[in-house]
Amino acid sequence: MRTVNIHEAKTHLSRLVEAAAEGEEIVIAKAGRPVARLVPAVRPVRRRRLGWFRGRFTVPEDFDAPLPEDVLAGFEGADADAPAR
């Protein structure tokens, strides 16, 4: 993180904006005291790391088996005791 004074920020605003767009954070100071931060408008998308949850849970063999009638009826908004349509 780079710190610049207001005068330098006014003089080199275009360069500072370019640096911020590339991901750098710039602190603008007045009399040595930070008063503002120049940051990228959109943070870069972080790539997701595949497989980081491997081994923490197991998927049962029957995970795609048909649901029991009472559970299925609950999803369909029907009464479990009512006859099927």
Q: Model confidence over 30-82: pLDDT tens digits?
A: 999 999 999 998 866 788 888 888 888 888 999 999 989 999 898 888 765 65
- Six-digit token string for 5: 């004074």
Question: Cα dist. 69→40, 57, 59, 61, 64 in Å?
Answer: 53, 27, 22, 20, 15
Q: Which domains does the chain have, with CATH numbers?
A: 2-38 (3.40.1620.10)
Q: What is the pTM of this model?
A: 0.49
Closest CA to 17 of 2, 34, 32: 2
Terminal C-alpha separation, the chain = 66
- Contact residues for 2 (Cβ-Cβ < 8 A; gap 6+): 19, 24, 25, 26, 27
